[in-house]
Amino acid sequence: MRRLGRILVATLASIGLIVIVIVGGGIWAMVAFQDHLEPSLPKSMVLSLDLETKFRETPVSDPLAALSGEHPYVLRQVVAAIDHAATDGKVKGLFATLGSGHLSLASTQEISAAITRFRASGKPAVAFAETIGESGNGTVDYVLASAFSQVWLQPSGDVGLTGFAAETPFIKGSLDLLGIEPQMAGRKEYKSAIETFTETHYSEPHRQSVTALLDAWTEQSVAAIAQGRRLGEDKVRALFGKGPFLAVEALSSGLVDHLGYRDQAWAAAGGTSKKGEEVDVAAYAGHLPSGSGPRIAVITGSGAITRGEADSPFGGDDGFGAATIAGAFRAAIDDPAVKAILFRIDSPGGSYVASDTVWHEVGRARAAGKPVVASMAGVAASGGYFVAMGADRVVAQPGTITGSIGVFSGKMVLRDFWAKLGISWDGVKRGDNADMFSANTPFSPEAWERLNRMLDAIYGDFTAKAAKGRNLAPERLEELAKGRVWAGSDAQARGLVDVLGGWDVAQGQVRELLKLTPDASLDLVAYPKAKAPWQKLAQALSGGSLAEDEGMRALLRVAKVMAPLAAQLEAVSPQAGALRMPPVGP
């Protein structure tokens, strides 16, 4: 009987393995040949762009998602597609829907610039919105809408041009009630992430930093709207922050051109059966000609900077694992075909050690004669600035959040909290500082001295490398550091950034460093090279990671309710130092 049971188990296991191989092989085959099955482009088309969907910094890496046939938006590919469409005789116009998107102001500026270049071709660029902000804050969405030659608004909609606001939770009072004591230190006064736990309101440096950021964003938005809508800046400034505007108010004030519905806006863009067939911008991007000219390695770091490999091959952007990014740099350095590196960064920071690892590889690339251009996306602050500051050229959008040259560390002491619950702890240690980062005891005077000495060393290393990389006197760099956050425009005016712009400007910097003509073609190749679909599948199937990912997604859905507080709590870490900026957003 036992023998029969073993045979049955082995048979079922074999069947299961065969099923996995067949299913996996089928998925691999479908993904591998998907590009060859793409339908050809029509002879006359209008490109469509959904600006309410999520944009990525890197192409999707999930082979299962690829089977859906959908084309996720990759920011640089969308920009390249719009630029190419401007000179493509088959493309008759551009039609976009918007309303309540997820783009940062910096990403909005990137897309707006591409749309402005498209408009210069004389082709219509039409934006349609059911509503902009949905009776809420639609400021960034409207800044993007203003770049189009025509803006259509549904008669029932409104324009939420309400301005910018920053709000930060302070939980010191709650911690006091719970008996939780935050013991944290930062370098220096503008490194305000810890204030969520140690203060009950903004400190003066914190308020000053956030105010300057919102001031810069406001001026940039007013100028962009005035230019796009061909309105005087004084008029736009008078309207800014006074929304939401009803549809008729938006029309009479010149914020929109027409009130109507999608089909009417679509016809205005040339989208009729006689003029042009609808083609999504992402699908159009898939048909762009391959690059030529010098090979440029494109390395993208997106998210919190951590030691080790990027977290997961599936979902989200590929992550900012230092081992992955450093490995990509080494591969590009060792590849004789690579002539320069374009380093795209979208990160609020993270581990000091991990940031330093990537910074070193940037220096190695330059020493090997391969220029590095850092291109900052929505945010490149703290550790995100650390990895960029050693590049030959640093490019940022005016709205990019950057700087935050500083460090913090500490812990929460739960001793009194446990006592309130009637819980006691006991332990044994060997070494005076063995329990230094234990949440059950405060820092001893010796441990506190150790922590602060480490923070001083990290801050000194950060500022010294920044001064050298940016060619600034240490005294001048110190004035710009102290943990302060800057808008990209302010950072550029102070020497922390070289040039303002997006992908097109960053590529121009590469051409300049390589002494090429301004219109020279570049062969942009992503590093590290993407894994084959079967490799991604194997990684997903090994260890049950698909179930784990789904479990994690379920947990994240629950945690999303606490997102504002969770963003602040994420700052608490028992690491020696965290190069991370506090959450700031429009």
pLDDT digits (tens, 9 = 90+) for 470-521: 999 999 999 999 999 999 999 999 999 999 999 999 999 999 999 999 999 9
- 75, 107 Cβ separation under 8 angstroms: yes
Least confident of 132-136, 227-231, 343-347: 132-136
DSSP 120: T
Percent of the chain with pLDDT over 70: 79
pLDDT value at position 204?
96
Per-residue pLDDT at 569 exceeds 80: no
| The CATH homologous superfamily of the domain defined by 295-423+438-535+573-580 | 2-enoyl-CoA Hydratase; Chain A, domain 1 (3.90.226.10)
Report the distance separating Cα 201 and Cα 171, nearest Å.
10
- At residue 351's C-alpha, the angle toward residues 497 and 401, to 5°, is 30
Per residue in 131-156, is it b (16+ CB within 10 Å) or e — as a string?
Answer: bbbbeebbbbbbbbbbbbbbbbbbee
357-386 confidence digits (pLDDT tens): 999 999 999 999 999 999 999 999 999 999
Per-residue pLDDT at 15 exceeds 70: no
- Residue 356's identity, in one-letter code, is D
Least confident of 265-269, 330-334, 480-484: 265-269
What's the whole-number average pLDDT of the chain? 85
User: Residue 242, SS3?
Assistant: coil
Report the distance separating Cα 502 and Cα 109, nearest Å.
8
The residue written with tokens 């590469």 in the block is: 510
Report the distance separating Cα 551 and Cα 560, nearest Å.
14
Q: What is the dihedral of CA 314, 318, 322, 328, to 10 degrees?
A: 110
* Dihedral sign for Cα atoms in the order 506, 509, 513, 518: positive
Per-residue pLDDT at 575 exceeds 50: no
pLDDT value at position 529?
77
Residue 256: other Cβ atoms inside 10 A:
26
Report the distance separating Cα 270 and Cα 245, nearest Å.
28
Report the distance separating Cα 581 and Cα 191, nearest Å.
7
The residue written with tokens 């005087």 in the block is: 232
pLDDT value at position 136?
79
CA 397 distance to own-chain centroid: 13
Return the higher-pLDDT residue of 22 and 261: 261
Contacts for 550 with CB less than 8 Å, ≥ 6 apart: none
99-147 confidence digits (pLDDT tens): 988 899 999 999 999 999 999 999 999 999 999 988 779 999 999 999 9
Report the distance separating Cα 523 and Cα 81, nearest Å.
15
- Residue 259's identity, in one-letter code, is L
pLDDT value at position 540?
47
Return the higher-pLDDT residue of 234 and 546: 234
The CA R_g of the chain, rounded to the nearest whole Å, is 26
Per residue in 111-129, is it b (16+ CB within 10 Å) or e — as a string?
Answer: bbbbbbebbeeebbbbbbb
Identify which of 75, 92, 144 has the alpha carbon closest to the alpha carbon of residue 504: 75
Phi, psi of 158, rounded to the nearest 5 degrees: -145, 170
Per residue in 482-509, is it b (16+ CB within 10 Å) or e — as a string?
Answer: bbbbbbbbbbbebebbbbbbbbbbbbbb
3-state secondary structure 245-290: EEHHHHHHCCCCCEECCHHHHHHHCCCCCCCCEEEEHHHHHCCCCC
- Residue 161's identity, in one-letter code, is L
pLDDT value at position 101?
84
* Dihedral sign for Cα atoms in the order 38, 39, 45, 50: negative
pLDDT value at position 555?
41
Q: Which fold has domain 45-165+207-285?
A: 2-enoyl-CoA Hydratase; Chain A, domain 1 (3.90.226)
Cα–Cα distances in angstroms (integers) from residue 406 to residues 188, 477, 482, in the given order? 6, 12, 6
pTM as predicted = 0.85
pLDDT value at position 319?
79
- pLDDT grade for 392, boundaries at 50, 70 and 90: very high
Per-residue pLDDT at 271 exceeds 80: no
Give me the residue spans of the domains in the chain: 45-165+207-285, 295-423+438-535+573-580
**What are all long-range contacts of 197-202, with beta carbons under 8 Å and residues at least 24 apart?**
197/171, 197/172, 197/412, 197/568, 197/572, 198/172, 199/170, 199/172, 200/170, 200/172, 200/173, 201/170, 202/168
